[in-house]
């Protein structure tokens, strides 16, 4: 896990306690969610259950949603300015080179990009030779690596990942999971996913979100990323899938 | 290559049709001169045509540049502020309801008999298509990019400069391509209302003296120049988009 950057010191935990509604329709009520500092929390759930809303609320991007409750970093500090975001879509700007995309954050804040660091970060994700390319000239995996480089360049203590690997093929996905786990080590990472295997591989903490609410499930032993074939990881993966399926068939009908 | 060939074939067909109409109807040359006669006149009057074409193209190009600048700046201002948009957009549409022809005499009164009034005329006629198509593109939401930018701590102005404007340049380019075709119309209207130079002036003069062949020659020159301008603007816009 050799990452050439200073690991983020004292990455804070993430706390979200409260209810959210969209146009008066409740999305969730009395939810209590915590992501411990400095490790990976996987929030697993089926589509449409509101797990992305939690991530968007934390990012300050849940437009139209009203949140009542407490949402902050565990150290009592604000969340704004301490978060980096990586989504399913790589969100690269097609008219910029890879390098310019990676330094977008600095330019958007009116800062001068640190050119030495860009080089290091691009090397770190294996895009050192492709810095001058346009996104359209990259493969899907390379584009997502550029998005990872942009996230790393932000150098934030908290990183929110919104299904960043779900559009990749199986081989690329496994590699990206390992690369992301290695490069984001030491930060507080919240990964929203619908893939039980991904949650079992990458979660230091695993939270399943279903219509019934949040359930914590003990993660498999071992540091993330866990090997794909690890028996304990596979067992947890199967258990997670069971929970997801059970809840789908036995979902309580507005009781 | 096939594009160039079909263009040649369709031009030839058009000329043949024109010549056929002249021969079949037997119309006198001061009503409808044939293509051969017009070509001959173009050659004989080449100096006169070139001199007047230069004047018209100067008006068109200056009008195009100023109209584009003004249109682009307006679109950005309108996109940047909801208040400005609500106040100014109805005015913009209302201004389009006034026929440019009706404005030409007053513009000649205000900006004089020379280049000025024609440049303003070209500018006015292209201002709306440029502003409108750029503004529409600037107002596309781009929720995901803008959300990412907000998480990165971007101000509205920097989102505009680094994301909205570059993303909207194809819209500006399509407005420009329209403008390249409209601008000559503005200049010609201006020349009709009052001038002593330019292709529009020459057409009016030739028409008045029953030199229909010269009028047609001036018309052909204007049409060819407009097509070339459209092609040049299209090429320029493509090149700019690739290098943005």
pLDDT tens-digit series, residues B48-101: 999 999 999 999 999 999 999 999 999 999 999 999 999 998 988 888 888 888
For A39-88, the pLDDT digits (tens) are 999 999 988 888 888 999 999 998 888 899 989 898 888 888 899 999 98
Together in a domain, A174 and A61: yes
* Residues 9 through 68 of chain A touching chain B, CB cutoff 8 Å: 59-61, 63
Domain that holds residue A136: 92-155
Together in a domain, A178 and A242: yes
- In 3D, which of A191, A100, A98, A190 has the Cα closest to residue A145? A98
Would the pLDDT of B174 be above 60? yes
**Local confidence band at A195 (pLDDT 50, 70, 90 cut-offs):** very high
For A95-113, the pLDDT digits (tens) are 999 999 999 999 999 999 9
Q: How many domains does chain A have?
A: 2
Together in a domain, A73 and A100: no
Together in a domain, A136 and A37: no
**Residues above pLDDT 90, as percent of chain A:** 66
Together in a domain, A167 and A44: yes
Strand partners, A217: A206
Partner B contacted by A93 (CB < 8 A): yes
Together in a domain, A120 and A170: no
Q: What pTM did the predictor assign? A: 0.85
A179 belongs to a structural domain: yes
Contact B158 A104 (CB under 8 A): no
A188 belongs to a structural domain: yes
- What pLDDT score does B82 carry? 92
Looking at this predicted complex, what is its ipTM? 0.87
Rounded to whole angstroms, the Cα distance separating A36 from B33 reads 87
- What pLDDT score does B30 carry? 87
Q: Mean pLDDT lowest for which of A83-92, A145-154, A209-218, B34-43? A: A209-218
Rounded to whole angstroms, the Cα distance separating B71 from B75 reads 6
- Matching CATH number, B34-243, of 1.10.1040.10, 1.10.3720.10, 3.40.190.10, 3.40.50.1360: 1.10.3720.10
Residue to substitute from B141, B151, B153, interface A, most A β-carbons within 10 A: B151
A215 belongs to a structural domain: yes
pLDDT, greater one: A213 or A94: A94
- What pLDDT score does A8 carry? 62
**Residues on chain B touching A95 (C-beta within 8 angstroms):** 166-167, 241, 244
Together in a domain, A150 and A170: no
Between the two ends of chain A, the Cα-to-Cα distance in Å is 48
Together in a domain, A71 and A168: yes
**Residues above pLDDT 70, as percent of chain B:** 100
A171 belongs to a structural domain: yes
Average of per-residue pLDDT values in chain B? 93
Rounded to whole angstroms, the Cα distance separating B131 from B172 reads 8
Residue to substitute from A94, A95, A164, interface B, most B β-carbons within 10 A: A95
- What pLDDT score does A219 carry? 94
Contact A91 B144 (CB under 8 A): yes
Average pLDDT over residues B135-149: 95
Together in a domain, A69 and A173: yes
CATH number, domain containing residue A20? 3.40.50.300
Contact A67, A57 (CB under 8 A): yes
Three-state secondary structure along A180-201?
HHHHCCCCEEEEEECCHHHHHH
Across the beta sheet with A14-22, what order do the strands follow? Answer: A25-35, A14-22, A65-73
Between the two ends of chain B, the Cα-to-Cα distance in Å is 29
Q: How many CB atoms lie within 10 A of CB A75?
A: 12
Spell A196-208 as b/e; 16+ CB within 10 A means b: bbbbbbbbebbbb
- What pLDDT score does A254 carry? 45
Query: Last residue of a domain, which of A106, A125, A155?
Result: A155
Rounded to whole angstroms, the Cα distance separating B15 from A96 reads 47
For B189-222, the pLDDT digits (tens) are 999 988 899 999 999 999 999 899 999 999 999 9
Contact B144 A87 (CB under 8 A): yes
- What pLDDT score does A247 carry? 59
Query: Last residue of a domain, which of A132, A155, A178?
Result: A155
- What pLDDT score does A2 carry? 40
Rounded to whole angstroms, the Cα distance separating B104 from B123 reads 12
A68 belongs to a structural domain: yes
Rounded to whole angstroms, the Cα distance separating B148 from B152 reads 6
- What pLDDT score does A255 carry? 39
B155 Cα to chain A: minimum distance (Å): 7
- What pLDDT score does B47 carry? 96
Average of per-residue pLDDT values in chain A? 89
Would the pLDDT of A114 be above 70? yes
Across the beta sheet with A188-193, what order do the strands follow? Answer: A83-86, A158-162, A188-193, A40-44, A205-210, A213-217
Would the pLDDT of B18 be above 50? yes
Contact B162 A59 (CB under 8 A): no
Chain A residue with Cα closest to B143: A61
For A116-146, the pLDDT digits (tens) are 999 999 999 999 999 999 999 999 999 999 9
């Amino acid at each position: 896990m050799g990452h050439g950057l200073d690991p983020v010191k004292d990455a804070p935990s993430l706390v979200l306690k409260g209810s959210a509604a969209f146009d008066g329709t409740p999305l969730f009520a009395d939810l209590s969610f915590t992501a411990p500092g400095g490790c990976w929390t996987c929030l697993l759930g089926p589509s449409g259950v509101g797990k992305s809303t939690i991530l968007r609320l934390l990012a300050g991007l849940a437009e139209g949603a009203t949140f009542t409750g407490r949402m902050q970093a565990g150290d009592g500090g604000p969340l704004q300015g301490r978060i980096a975001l990586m989504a399913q879509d790589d969100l690269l700007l097609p008219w910029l080179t890879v390098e310019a995309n990676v330094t977008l954050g600095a330019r958007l804040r009116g800062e001068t990009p640190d050119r030495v660091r860009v080089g290091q970060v691009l090397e770190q994700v294996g895009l050192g030779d492709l810095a001058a390319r346009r996104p359209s000239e990259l493969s899907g995996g390379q584009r997502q690596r550029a998005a990872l480089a942009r996230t790393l360049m932000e150098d934030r203590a908290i990183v929110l990942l919104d299904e960043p690997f779900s559009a990749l093929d199986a081989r690329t996905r496994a590699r990206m999971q390992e690369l992301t786990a290695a490069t984001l080590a030491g930060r507080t990472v919240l990964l929203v996913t619908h893939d039980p295997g991904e949650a079992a591989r990458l979660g230091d903490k695993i939270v399943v979100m279903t219509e019934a609410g949040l359930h914590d499930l003990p993660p498999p032993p071992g540091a993330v990323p866990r090997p794909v074939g690890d028996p304990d990881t596979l067992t947890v993966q199967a258990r997670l899938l069971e929970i997801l399926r059970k809840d789908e068939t036995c979902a309580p009908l507005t009781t | 290559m096939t594009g160039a060939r079909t263009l040649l074939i369709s031009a030839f067909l058009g000329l043949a049709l024109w010549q056929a109409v002249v021969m079949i109807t037997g119309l006198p040359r001061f009503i409808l001169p044939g293509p051969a006669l017009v070509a001959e006149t173009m050659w004989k009057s080449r100096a006169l045509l070139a001199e007047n074409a230069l004047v018209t193209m100067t008006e068109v190009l200056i009008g195009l540049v100023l109209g584009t600048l003004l249109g682009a700046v307006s679109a950005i201002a309108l996109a940047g502020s909801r208040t400005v948009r609500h106040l100014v957009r109805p005015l913009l549409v209302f201004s389009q309801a006034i026929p440019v022809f009706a404005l030409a005499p007053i513009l000649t009164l205000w900006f004089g008999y020379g280049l000025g009034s024609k440049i303003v005329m070209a500018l006015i006629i292209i201002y709306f298509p440029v502003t409108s198509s750029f503004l529409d593109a600037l107002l596309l939401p781009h929720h995901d990019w803008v959300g990412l930018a907000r998480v990165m701590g971007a101000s509205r102005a920097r989102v505009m400069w680094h994301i909205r404007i570059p993303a909207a340049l194809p819209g500006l380019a399509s407005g420009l391509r329209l403008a390249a075709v409209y601008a000559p119309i503005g200049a010609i209207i201006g020349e009709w209302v009052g001038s002593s130079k330019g292709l529009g002036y020459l057409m009016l003069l030739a028409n008045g003296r029953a030199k229909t062949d010269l009028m047609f020659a001036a018309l052909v020159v204007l049409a060819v120049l407009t097509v070339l301008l459209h092609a040049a603007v299209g090429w320029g816009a493509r090149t700019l988009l690739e290098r943005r």
